[in-house]
Chains A and B, each alone.
Chain A
Amino acid sequence: MVDWSFLLVEFLIKFVLILTLILLVAAAFGVYLERKVSAWIQNRIGPNRVGPFGLLQPFADVIKLFLKEDITPYAADKFFHRIAPIISLGVAFSVYAVIPFADPFRLGDKTIYFAITTPDVNVGILFILALTSVGVYGITFAGWSSNNKYSLLGGLRSSAQMISYELSMGLSLVGVLLIAQTFSLQEIVQKQALWNWNIFYQPLGFIIFLVSAFAETNRAPFDLPEAEPELVGGYNTEYSGMKFGMFFLAEYANMFTSSLIIVLLFFGGWNLPIPPSWIGLEMGSFWLSFLQFCTLIFKTLLFVFFFIWVRWSVPRFRYDQLMYLGWKVLLPLALLNLIVTAIVVYLVK
């Protein structure tokens, strides 16, 4: 007997909470952090006028974007021009449908899962990989429909780059999956309890995944689709107002997603650094889940910081270097990593 009304309410609450979290933490705080960190690296102060320490700056930015005129070029393909940012942002957000944020906790006689979908999706990683590769359509459509040579080049670069890095990204994950023997994110994290992190078993896989994640999210040093000096604005040259804002939000949401996945797969996810019994919390209590959630967000923000830090340190790759790295370095390395892991796992089991 399933209590449908309870499930619906639970779903709605979690949906709203997690979406707000992504919008506020991932997008808004990400933009703020980006501006602050870039300022610090360049010996500046950064935004400090809007709100305390400039914390409301991203909201001011978004309000400004809303008030801007929304221009569609005369020669653009109106339908695809409009649908491209929707795809980008929609894909960036829908990934969160399967990402769990903490261990499930008990409320009365019911078990509440800390993810939008209940119960845990057992092919979570496959779903995430599939969705992130749909994200390239948003950028490619944007590049093609703008009817602008720079946009088109940006879109083409993006699709070539995504395809090249998707492969090594997927292959580098297989090592983790072989160790965990499951596709479910919940179980993968639970197997990493107490500093039993996957990074210690899969250092090469982690590096490959990290580099691919930079390429997947179009962040520097792989931000070729929007390389300002060569391509004006790349795929978003012809976008203005909130359509541009949606691409912008999607970029930061993607960065947050990538950091989240790196933490979940390689850095022990939401596991506390000490056994929960030491601080008097048992499995299934709400406060344990809450602490785990905070741990996860903290680790993720560290990685978001790392993404930003790299962007302001490393120059952009040349296009052929990017392709060379993807196909001739990362792909063989990922295959090697996979084979070695498979042999070791086979021998140990």
Chain B
Amino acid sequence: MNRIENTEHERLTFWEKLYLPEIAKGLGITLRQMFKPKFTRQYPEERWEPTGSYRGRPVLVLDEDGERCVACGLCSRVCPALAIEVQAAETEREKERYPVKFEINMLRCIYCGFCEEVCPEEAIVMSKDYELVFTNREDAILGKEKLLVPIHKLQDRLEFLREYK
């Protein structure tokens, strides 16, 4: 008695069973879609500028008085993909420690941002750089000279971190 009528035979009206009017409706929808604005971005000419929340290539912050990194090695410890290698050394300056070697293997990096989160000095942050192309494996291991980025280029990300971290 409480049977739910839901077979195709019972559900459809005569015109729906004919298919053709329904197909014509569908064609109408696709025809309207053809004249709608396109979503495509013409990539090489038209580039996307990410916001501060974007996690691109991790970089080291370069302050007015040199690099911020004190080579504590926390980023290296927390990195789930084992992409970071840090070797510490000492100097005579006020900030006694600095990384003599700091390498990020971009083939391993998964852009999780843990390194940035754990860093006590706000020295490693995720940049907006998303065009990461390497032609061989050696190029993909970035040394200090490629990682150090002047602070004024990272303002967006630093503000984002101050607000939400």
Contacts and interface: CB of A to CB of B under 8 A. Distances in A.
Interface of A: 37, 40-45, 207, 309-310, 312-314
Given A309-B30, A313-B30, A43 B38 contact: yes
B6 interface: no
Contact of A309 (B27, B37, B39): B27
Contact of B40 (A41, A45, A310, A313): A45
B51 interface: no
Given A41-B30, A43-B39, A310-B27, 9 more contacts: A37-B34, A40-B34, A41-B33, A43-B36, A43-B38, A44-B38, A45-B42, A313-B29, A314-B26
B31 interface: yes
B34 A45 contact: no
Contacts of A41: 30, 33-34
A42 B39 CA distance: 9
Contacts of B29: 313
Contacts of B40: 44-45
Say what secondary structure dominates the interface of chain B: helix
Contacts of B30: 41, 309, 312-313
A308 to B, nearest CB: 10
Given A40-B33, A41-B33, A42-B33, A313 B26 contact: yes
Contacts of B37: 43
A107 B98 CA distance: 92
What is the size category of the interface that chain B forms with chain A?
Answer: 10 to 19
Contacts of A310: 23, 27
B34 A207 contact: no
Contacts of B31: 309
Nearest to B34: A40
Contacts of A44: 38-40
Contacts of A314: 23, 26-27
**Most A C-beta atoms less than 10 A away, residue of B20, B34, B39, B42:** B34
B53 to A, nearest CB: 26
Contacts of B39: 43-44
Contacts, number: 34
30 contacts: A37-B34, A40-B33, A40-B35, A41-B30, A41-B33, A42-B33, A43-B33, A43-B36, A43-B37, A43-B38, A43-B39, A44-B38, A44-B39, A44-B40, A45-B38, A45-B40, A207-B20, A309-B27, A309-B30, A309-B31, A310-B23, A310-B27, A312-B30, A313-B23, A313-B26, A313-B27, A313-B29, A313-B30, A314-B23, A314-B26
Closest CB pairs A-B (n = 6): A40-B34, A313-B30, A45-B40, A41-B30, A313-B26, A313-B27
Interface in B1-49: 20, 23, 26-27, 29-31, 33-40, 42
A268 to B, nearest CB: 22
Choose among B23, B36, B37, B40 the residue with the greatest number of A CB atoms under 10 Å from its CB.
B40
A207 B18 CA distance: 12
A310 B25 CA distance: 11
A44 B39 CA distance: 6
Nearest to B37: A43
A211 to B, nearest CB: 9
A41 B35 CA distance: 8
For A37, A43, A310, the residue with the greatest tally of chain B CB atoms inside 10 Å of its CB is A43
A44 B42 CA distance: 11
Contacts of A207: 20
Nearest to A48: B42
A45 B36 CA distance: 11
Contacts of A45: 38, 40, 42
B123 to A, nearest CB: 42
Nearest to B39: A43
Contacts of B36: 43
Contacts of A312: 30
A206 to B, nearest CB: 12
Nearest to A321: B19
B28 to A, nearest CB: 9
A105 B145 CA distance: 77
A215 to B, nearest CB: 14
A228 to B, nearest CB: 20
Nearest to A221: B23
Contacts of A43: 33, 36-39
B54 to A, nearest CB: 24
Contacts of B42: 45
Nearest to B26: A313
Contacts of A42: 33
Contacts of B33: 40-43
